[in-house]
């Protein structure tokens, strides 16, 4: 076998061998979490989080946010969510945005909330899409815009957020048929790859 083919195969195999133990540790953490053994989940996820694993960082943040296996600490939750969010993890982006929105773990900051929630919404995170719709409807951190609110609720419905259909129906009662048509058009044209 030529050297130019052996090197990439060896590289792929070595990456795979290193990734398997990390995935096994993450899965062990999930199994512990599912058993509500949060201290064990933290022991499994913390080293992975410290090594930069975005999903483990999100899970560690969630444990701190909910006070599971550790004392509840929104500053720590914000720290771990921020690390995962910076790597593009949508659930962490939404969670971090929500902490900023509510002023948990630090000061309330609607601009940071909007930044992170919008990033998650643009990745198809249904809860973030619903929250972004509510922010548009209420004018939190951005101008009120019922058309944008309806658009984001429509996307959240498509992505399976359970309260979104009811919220969209309530919002529609406050809109003109032209506004609804515009919002539906925007939702149908939405492409997460363009964001």
Max mean pLDDT among 7-21, 26-40, 103-117 falls in: 103-117
pLDDT, mean over the chain? 89
Is the pLDDT score of 163 beyond 80? yes
How far apart CA 123 and CA 112 sit, in angstroms, is: 17
- In a 13 Å sphere around the CA of 39, the CA atoms on its Cβ side amount to 1
Q: Are residues 36 and 61 in the same domain?
A: yes
Phi-psi group of 140: left, alpha or beta (phi > 0 → left; psi -120 to 50 → alpha; rest → beta): beta
Q: What is the mean pLDDT of residues 90-111?
A: 97
End-to-end CA distance of the chain: 44
Query: Where does the pLDDT of residue 7 fall: very low under 50, low under 70, confident under 90, or very high at 90 and above?
Result: very low
Q: At 38, which CATH number?
A: 1.25.40.10
Query: Where does the pLDDT of residue 145 fall: very low under 50, low under 70, confident under 90, or very high at 90 and above?
Result: very high
Range of the domain at 94: 7-123
Total-model pTM: 0.84
Domain finish residue from 91, 123, 155: 123
């Amino acid at each position: 076998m030529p050297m130019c083919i052996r090197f990439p195969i060896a590289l792929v195999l070595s990456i795979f061998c290193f990734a398997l133990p990390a995935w096994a540790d993450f899965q062990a953490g999930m199994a512990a979490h599912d058993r509500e053994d949060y201290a064990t989940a933290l022991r499994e996820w913390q080293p992975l989080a410290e090594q930069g694993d975005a999903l483990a960082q999100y899970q560690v943040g969630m444990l701190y946010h909910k006070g599971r296996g550790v004392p509840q600490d929104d500053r720590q939750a914000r720290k771990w969510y921020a690390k995962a969010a910076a790597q593009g993890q949508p659930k962490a982006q939404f969670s971090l945005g929500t902490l900023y929105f509510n002023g948990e773990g630090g000061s309330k900051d609607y601009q940071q909330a909007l930044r992170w929630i919008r990033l998650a919404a643009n990745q198809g995170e249904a809860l973030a899409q619903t929250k972004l719709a509510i922010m548009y409807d209420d004018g939190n951190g951005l101008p009120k815009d019922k058309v944008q609110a309806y658009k984001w609720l429509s996307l959240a419905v498509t992505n399976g957020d359970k309260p979104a259909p009811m919220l969209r129906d309530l919002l529609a009662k406050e809109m003109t048929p032209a506004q609804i048509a515009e919002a539906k058009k925007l939702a149908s044209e939405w492409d997460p790859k363009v964001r």
